[in-house]
Structure 1
């Protein structure tokens, strides 16, 4: 089954100031951008010269003054990537008009990113030269040949440090017609007790825990932990809690029940969503786990925004 957030376009790099701040090989250098050298501009990178370095090389092209990226932080970053022996990008976010949102140090991206971006400050432009062992190894990946050394220029746009769970005021759950949701805040999946009654016909969006952070905007990318269940029978069909990985997702990339139900809710909250079929997967469902015309129950912890 496709995950709830499978509408997200997955970039190639995801797994399915003083210059010269180098790590790794000291006798190899990263090819300097020949154009578009400023933060926010799409760079042009020439081919690498000679043999590529055997170790990861990290070069701070321009240093920002924002918070340093730490392991398990979520970042937004613009990037351009190409192979060492090519001057043509295999992927870039600069042409997409939308930075990549991803967690660093958690195995969501290639190891060269996980290792190379930790410690870099927000607002920095960083160049990474990634050997095959920290990239895609001996397997080809779409238009990236096997055993390729990769070159990236990465602009770190934003860094968010997310808490383990929601934090705020627990709210009463007095409506016997609605699911009762656990109020634990330890990053583990909360309990959900769905009543043996007909599902509401309209969208339900209720605080279980009301946080104190800013209200989520419809244009935001939210960092969430969540689980989804069928109203009928209570079977779980997806859970980021079980994967141990919060998710960063734009509210424009999700089912309407999420985009409508989370907009306006506060960061730090746990929210109960009951989504009618027309705001979920409708008459088509999402086989095999979500049948046609299925009302859905979601519990969503809003941990941050990007």
Structure 2
């Protein structure tokens, strides 16, 4: 793992977060005289009829909303933080974006035009625990610009769930609950929780004293999200990755975790987001991500 990786600040957003950027770009597109509003309205009505869907309410904007599971409490308000699960698909059923099988949630502030217009409007109709389906005309999605795999002027479907609505998010409590669920789901054993919130399971004991602050550790590792996506690994590299323990050259979870290991030991580290990258998105790692590292302490000097 290079130091450059740890210092990276590249931010990547899910497709649903690209709304404002895409709408601003739309002014650069060539003029198109097609009446997409009428076309999209007809497409949505045909889709509802063909699939025998019920419960949809058409909003004045053209957004169709069907609440499939009522929630509790007040609906989401401007500037509140919404934590959501979602699946985005085309009307032919092809999914283009989803976090429904993920351990992570999508958190966004409502009413700040970060999301596409359909989300900014649709989530104001939902309360905590609610599930709903949005049928979105292209004018409330990515318009004539498109985004990633989404062609221009495309009607979209989003199946969403409001997991929480809050003014602030207690990521420490949420990460703790998520890590415990992950351990239970995967039937993992041997983990010890540290006061910091770091979970460590030593899978192969080493020999000698543990690494100490100021010593140089040589490590082999694989880093994954809890969903199993590998974001970095050096297991096939010629040489291990070396760093000075406790000097802030690596994320906090590593500085702490390697002081619990000795030469030759292997372990699994489960890092709450506060011991990883916090609220920063780094390379392909979303903000506020819990991370798993399978590590080996190859040498200590």
TM-score class, shorter-chain normalisation, is 0.3 to 0.5
> RCO (CA 8 Å, sep 6+): is it higher in 1 or 2?
2
User: Larger Cα Rg: Structure 1 or Structure 2?
Assistant: 2
More helix by share: 2
TM-score normalised per structure 1: 0.42
